[in-house]
Amino acid sequence: MLRTTHRSAGGLARTSKPLFSTVLRSTRGSAASTTISSLASTASRTQSLLQPPALRLPLASGLRTSSGSTDISTERVGVEVSYHVATVTLQDQKTRNCLSTTMMTDLYNTIEKLEANPHVKVVILTHTGKVFSSGHNLKELQLTQETTGETKAIFETCNKLMLKVRSTRLPVIASISGFATAAGCQLAATADMCIVGEGATFSTPGVSIGLFCHTPGVALGRAVGYKAAMHMLLTGDIFTAEQALRCGLVNDIVPTDSLAEHTRAVADRIAKAPSAVVGLGKRTFYEQMSQGDVAQAYSSAGKVMQDNMMYPDAKEGIGAFIEKRPPKWTDADL
């Protein structure tokens, strides 16, 4: 069992914590990018009841297990499905995983296909190489600079992708070990969770080339708050993993060599819960967060909670807890 020192977004260090662990070092990014973008006993007992035996997924809806590639992979986006977790990998190292129109379209289509498959419960979004994503393809933007319609189409494609990440029933966990710049930073901020290696860095440097990171600011401002977002947007400064953790852009920092293992363990924990309830919870969370009035947010969330009480999984889960037995979710046989 892996035991290391861990620091999460709560800012407290713990030692000898199994698997979910972190050793933090002060890291300072040195390479600025020129890309730009559009962008507890009850808890313990409950957790133990949410752990059915590991289950190997059958082949379904065109998805194969991790022993082979899947037929929804593309040249730029790799996809592997193991048990209930899909790992989506940005793999266009030649362009530093830039969010070209093709890359964004591939990502959008991949998420759409994964969410249509009932076997898939969680998505891990990761990358090959030293860069998670360098943001928009500047050469592509330059070619459309004088054509309003084409430029608009690129940014609309980006907006559509970010909204898909936010609206899909699947929790999306960004797993980052390198640079996330401009629209790449926007993608990291849009993900439901973000777990990073010690050397990960984040920036929105568009202002330095005369094109402010307007759309990345949408995701950034909602993830980290006004002050930290404006710091990044106005200065283009590179935020280290530690700075990103402090401002709430990331959930956790782990040693880079254990990043994949740690992220997968978090995904597996989420996948143990009933997917219908997780999807409902994700949707409700973002809907109530978009409501300015707290009373209205409580009202709408309360109505959904009442509806959730009628779900077969809620009845089963509460009954199983009271009867001190493992629950059998409606999707347990998938």
DSSP string, 290-314: T-S-HHHHHHHHHHHHHHHHTSHHH
Residues lower than pLDDT 70 in the chain: 1-70, 333-334
Inside any domain, residue 205: yes
| Residue bearing tokens 């891990």 | 124
Instruction: Give the chain's domain count.
Output: 2
Residues 304 and 234 placed together within one structural domain of the fold: no
pLDDT of residue 51: 37
Pick from 251, 271, 291: which residue ends a domain?
271
Run of H or E including 17: strand 13-18
Residues ≥6 apart with Cβ < 8 Å to 123: 85, 86, 87, 88, 111, 114, 168, 170, 171, 172, 173
Neighbours of 32 (CB within 10 A): 14
Q: How many angstroms separate the Cα of 207 from the Cα of each of 40, 58, 138?
A: 47, 49, 14
What is the CATH number for 304? Answer: 1.10.12.10
Give per-residue burial for 323-334: e unless 16+ CB within 10 Å, then b: eeeebebebeeb
The 10s digit of each residue's pLDDT in 66-122 is: 434 457 999 999 999 999 999 999 999 999 999 999 999 999 999 999 999 999 999
Cα 147 from Cα 290, distance rounded (Å): 34
What pLDDT was estimated at residue 333? 67
User: DSSP code of 18?
Assistant: E
Predicted pLDDT at 52: 35
Which of 271, 288, 305 is at the close of a domain?
A: 271
149 with 187, same domain: the answer is yes
Note the pLDDT tens digit of each residue in 306-322. 999 999 999 999 999 99
Sequence-ordered list of residues with C-beta below 8 angstroms from that of 321, at least 6 positions apart, any chain: 45, 46, 49, 327
Is residue 50 within 8 A of residue 170, CB to CB? The reply is no
Q: What is the predicted pLDDT for the residue at 273?
A: 97
pLDDT the model gives residue 28: 36
Alpha helix segments (H runs only) across the chain? 41-49, 101-115, 138-143, 148-167, 183-190, 214-224, 226-235, 241-247, 259-271, 275-289, 294-309, 312-323
Identify whether residues 284 and 251 lie together within a single domain.
no
Whether 190 and 142 have beta carbons less than 8 Å apart is answered as: no
Q: Is 265 in the same domain as 279? A: no
27 in any annotated domain: yes
Under 8 Å between Cβ of 7 and 195:
no
In this structure, the answer to whether residues 207 and 284 fall within a common structural domain is: no
At position 171, the amino acid (one-letter code) is: P
- Co-location of 282 and 297 in the same domain: yes
- 15 and 141 both lie in a single domain: yes
**Do 282 and 241 lie in a common domain?**
no
266 and 280 in a single domain? The answer is no
Give the CA angle between residues 272, 276, 278 to the nearest 5°: 60
- 65 and 100 assigned to the same domain: yes
pLDDT of residue 150: 87
Residues β-bridged to residue 80? 87
Residue 332 inside a domain? The answer is no
Q: What is the rounded CA–CA span in Å between residue 274 and residue 121? A: 9
| Same domain flag for 114 and 251 | yes
Write the DSSP assignment of 266-287 as a string of letters: HHHHHHTS-HHHHHHHHHHHHH
Residues with Cβ within 8 Å of residue 322, at least 6 apart in sequence: none
Alpha-carbon distance of 14 to 4, in angstroms, equals: 9
What's residue 332's pLDDT?
72
> Does the residue 75 lie in any domain?
yes
- Residues linked to residue 82 through DSSP beta bridges, in sequence order: 85
pLDDT of residue 26: 35
- For the chain, helix, strand, coil in percent to 5 are 45, 15, 35
Structural domain including 66 reads 3-271
pLDDT of residue 148: 76
